[in-house]
């Protein structure tokens, strides 16, 4: 089996570092020693597990990418950059015909989907690449379709805690809120409580100190309006390793799509990856 060239974008960010290190060890993948980064990043390169990776800024990437793609036919990009870069990066990938996995949350998600659907470039886009959390989302979506309005007489409270540097509200929380709203709660996603204070996270939430710099703890609480019952859903993730497997499964999925007969579909989710549909 030929290895799939993969470009991990977002270095020197923490998630991109984890992805790059894991890609070096994945027998299915060949890490391209280049990474798209932000214009303000001062480093010119980073070294991951002994491999030097050149950082490429937006101002020069259009001139450099043709040679990179020529040297790495069949390349797939993995995006763990910054919410403010999501839409511009998607336009860059589609303009250059680079299949991509968008792990970065934020940005204009409707515009993101539209730019993919109007292109010839397939992409996997999801608010969360952790397969177990995607499975939970799929279960809630099934419940919403099967039992619409089930929680109509309940009030929803949502709290999510992530590392201090996470700029946007959790995309996963927003996705699950949409499911609960289909179940009847009528919750406004702007009311999601976003916790970013390390002191609060450690002392009030009990998040281990060693994971304050990288975690995702979510709690969804449903309270009956008459006070008779309470339901609570939680998913607490320490570190970022859980996102690796799903991300690379998505890379392999896209590589497979590039080899198949064109069916006209471009936009895929992690549920497509996990069920091999689409």
Catalytic site residue from 162, 218, 235, 257: 162
Beta-carbon contacts of 37 under 8 Å, excluding residues fewer than 6 positions away, are 9, 10, 11, 12, 43, 55, 56, 57, 81
Active site residue 218: no
* Alpha-helical regions (H) of the chain: 14-25, 58-71, 86-95, 109-117, 131-146, 171-182, 198-200, 242-259, 270-275
Active site residue 235: no
What is the CB-side half-sphere exposure of residue 92 using CA atoms within 13 A?
23
Catalytic site residue from 166, 174, 215, 218: 166
What is the CB-side half-sphere exposure of residue 170 using CA atoms within 13 A?
30
> Which residues carry out catalysis?
162, 166
């Amino acid at each position: 089996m030929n290895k799939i060239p993969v470009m991990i974008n977002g270095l020197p960010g923490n998630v991109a570092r984890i992805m790059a290190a894991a890609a070096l060890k994945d027998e299915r993948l060949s890490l391209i020693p280049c990474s798209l980064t932000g214009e303000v990043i001062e480093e010119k390169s980073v070294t991951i597990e002994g491999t030097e990776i050149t950082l490429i800024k937006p101002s020069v990437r259009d001139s450099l990418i043709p040679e990179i793609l020529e040297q790495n036919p069949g390349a797939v990009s993995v995006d763990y950059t910054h919410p403010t870069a999501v839409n511009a990066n998607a336009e860059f990938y589609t303009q250059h015909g680079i299949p991509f996995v968008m792990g970065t949350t934020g940005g204009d998600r409707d515009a993101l989907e539209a730019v993919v659907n109007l292109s010839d470039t397939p992409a996997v886009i999801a608010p969360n690449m952790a397969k177990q959390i995607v499975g939970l989302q799929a279960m809630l979506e099934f419940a919403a379709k099967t039992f619409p309005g089930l929680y109509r007489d309940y009030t929803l409270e949502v709290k999510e805690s992530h590392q201090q540097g996470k700029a946007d509200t959790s995309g996963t929380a927003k996705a699950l809120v949409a499911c609960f709203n289909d179940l009847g709660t009528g919750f406004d996603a702007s009311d999601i409580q976003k916790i970013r204070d390390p002191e609060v996270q450690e002392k009030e939430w009990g998040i281990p100190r060693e994971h304050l710099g990288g975690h995702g703890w979510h709690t969804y609480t449903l309270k009956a309006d008459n006070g008779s019952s309470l339901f609570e859903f939680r998913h607490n993730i320490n570190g970022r390793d859980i996102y690796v497997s799903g991300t690379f499964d998505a890379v392999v999925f896209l590589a497979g799509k590039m080899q198949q007969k064109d069916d006209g579909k471009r936009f895929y989710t992690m549920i497509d990856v996990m069920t091999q549909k689409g």
